[in-house]
Amino acid sequence: MIVFPAAAQVKTVTLHPLINDLVKKIGGEKVDNIDLIGETGDPHHFEPSAEQLRQTTGRQLYFLSGKGLESYLPSLRNIIKEPARIIEVGETLPTIEGGCATCDHEHEGHDDHAAHEEEHDDLADPHWWHSIENFRRAARVIEKELATTDAANAAFYKKSADEYVGKLEELERWVRREIATIPKNRRHLATAHDAFAYFCKDYGFTAYPVQGINREQLPDAKKLGSLIAELKKNQVAAIFPEKESNPKILTSLTKETGIKLGAALSADGTNSASYEEMVRNNVSAIVTGLKP
């Protein structure tokens, strides 16, 4: 007699690489997931195709990041019908506003500041995952949604969420120990796109993003001039490129300022084997680049 393993209880779909990791961690064998974005997908620009969505017919839960990251969400809501549900995992997590709140260094001249703020309006910064506390809360969001859909296995989801949250707490202790080796006056994080505001807030860094929230915006000559002045004034020790967004402007910035180029960071979870791996790589790169 052939004994088949028990079929997974919940059929899910994930649309963000880090949430894909989270659903695997919490759902384990009880969840049969289709990861639509894939390891190399850029969550700022990914959009599921009609064919991909057809392949998900009959799935119960669609997990995405939220906070405005997925511009296709309104059209997805038209396609995905009840009883299937779309879960914006980041929706209930604390928000940092885009624009000025994400670069909380002082702007020279108040007019500039006001214009800068207006430009961004009150957009949420979607990169909530760079706060480990947010990621812990996200684990509970996934646990709750899976348990609601599959009440018979609620205890299973709770146990795996408890275990994973414990791992995240351990990860955060490691991050704090590592960051403690960077003197406070050296906690300046200059990066490619504006993705690390949540990290900067949690660990007392000032953010100097060269690009905007979405990877493609580049500063004009005037903004670039004031950015260079600020980097020099604050004796910023390194400028960090990204695995996925590495504009030529970073190289010219390092030439112009004499500031060294750090190791590449991962901003959006693309090409990271797991959330934990992304955090460990980023923190190691930052510590190596900024430690005296």
Site string for Zn ion, 66-105 (x = CB under 5 A): ----------------------------------------
Smallest gap, in angstroms, from Cβ of residue 214 to Zn ion? 7
Tell me which residues in 185-204 interact with Zn ion (CB under 5 A). 195
Instruction: Please say which residue, 217 or 252, places its beta carbon nearer to Zn ion.
Output: 217
Verify binding: residue 244, Zn ion, rule CB under 5 A. Answer: no
* Of the candidates 132, 222, 235, the residue with the CA atom closest to the CA atom of residue 183: 235
Residues 6+ apart with CB under 8 A from 244: 42, 215, 266, 267, 268, 270, 271
Smallest gap, in angstroms, from Cβ of residue 178 to Zn ion? 22
Phi, psi of 32 (to 5 degrees): -110, 105
CA distance 89 to 143: 11
Smallest gap, in angstroms, from Cβ of residue 55 to Zn ion? 26
Instruction: Please say which residue, 128 or 164, places its beta carbon nearer to Zn ion.
Output: 128
Which stretch in 101-109, 227-235, 251-259, 262-270 sits in contact with Zn ion by CB under 5 A?
A: 262-270
Tell the burial category of 31 from Cβ atoms under 10 Å away from its Cβ (0-12, 13-18, 19+).
buried
For residue 240, give the amino acid letter. F
CA distance 201 to 38: 29
Tell me which residues in 266-285 interact with Zn ion (CB under 5 A). 267-268
State the number of binding residues for Zn ion (CB under 5 A). 3
Instruction: Please say which residue, 80 or 264, places its beta carbon nearer to Zn ion.
Output: 264
CB-CB neighbours of 39 under 10 Å? 12
Tokens of 70: 């997925």
Smallest gap, in angstroms, from Cβ of residue 44 to Zn ion? 5
Verify binding: residue 61, Zn ion, rule CB under 5 A. Answer: no
Residues that bind Zn ion (CB under 5 A): 195, 267-268
